[in-house]
Amino acid sequence: MLTLADHREVRFIDPRRFGVSPSTGQAGILTNNGQRTTVNGHLLRPRPRAPHDLAGRLRRALPCRKTPIKAALLNQSLLHGVGNIYADESLFRAGIRPRRQAGRLTRAELIGLRTALQAVLRRAIKLGGSSVSDYVNAEGMRGYFQIEHKVYGRAAESCTVCATPIQKITLAGRGTHFCPCCQK
């Protein structure tokens, strides 16, 4: 908890610990000038929305790896802030199967994925996130991006593009949704 100068409080509730650095186990704050800082000894790390050089970053990090692209997107040391829902939705929009080896994606596919990630994250932010269970924002309001989900949470339902049933598998320990026809 942070107490601001005007005595308002900022509280961070993170039961699944997604807001904590996987390497240090700490959380922190990004200041107005973009610098990382600590609060009560906890380091804050920036959480960029799909960095501009995602294609280059993934190509450099994964050239020989057999890591599935979905697992790579969830790896917070490669890309901060992309969670399970937004990875599934971005991969669908990019037409990439979640099990594809990240190291085998072409530059064009990675650029398409970057574009899809940016579009999905912008739209999700505009709609207040995805309230698929108990998520609410700081004002207690539910998000509405779940209304636009194309694959996440839609297992066995018809794809909105081709009518093929959406499949659900477990990948990297997470439920993973995809269209076997639209995603190659």
Taking the CB of residue 150, how many other CB atoms lie within 10 A of it?
Answer: 18
Q: Is 42 a residue whose pLDDT tops 50?
A: no
Q: Is 178 a residue whose pLDDT tops 90?
A: yes
Q: Average pLDDT for residues 108-112, to the nearest whole number?
A: 91
Q: Is 47 a residue whose pLDDT tops 50?
A: no
Q: Is 48 a residue whose pLDDT tops 90?
A: no
- C-alpha 105/C-alpha 110 separation (Å) is 6
Residue 102 vs residue 25, higher pLDDT: 102
**CATH 1.10.8.50 intervals, the chain:** 54-145
3-state secondary structure the chain: CEECCCCCEECCCCCCCCCCCCCCCCCCEECCCCCEEEECCEECCCCCCCCCCHHHHHHHHCCCCCCEHHHHHHCCCCCCCCCHHHHHHHHHHHCCCCCCEHHHCCHHHHHHHHHHHHHHHHHHHHCCCCCCCCCCCCCCCCCCHHHHCCCCCCCCCECCCCCCECEEEEECCEEEEECCCCCC
Residue-level pLDDT at 49? 44
Name the burial class of residue 80, with classes exposed (0-12), middle (13-18) and buried (19+) by CB atoms within 10 angstroms of its CB: middle
Residue 110 vs residue 31, higher pLDDT: 110
Distances (CA, A) of 37 to 2, 49, 76, 79, 177: 13, 19, 19, 20, 36
pLDDT tens per residue across span 78-105: 777 789 999 999 999 999 999 999 888 9
Range of lowest pLDDT (26-40, 90-104, 163-177): 26-40
Taking the CB of residue 129, how many other CB atoms lie within 10 A of it?
Answer: 20
- Which CATH class for the 54-145 domain? mainly alpha
Q: Average pLDDT for residues 46-73, to the nearest whole number?
A: 68
Residue-level pLDDT at 29? 56
Residue-level pLDDT at 35? 55
Contacts of residue 134, defined as CB under 8 A and 6 or more positions apart, other chains included, come to none
Q: How confident is the model at residue 45 (pLDDT cuts 50, 70, 90)?
A: very low
Residue 141 vs residue 93, higher pLDDT: 93
Residue 95 vs residue 25, higher pLDDT: 95
Residue-level pLDDT at 50? 43
Q: Average pLDDT for residues 104-113, to the nearest whole number?
A: 90
pTM above 0.75, yes or no: no
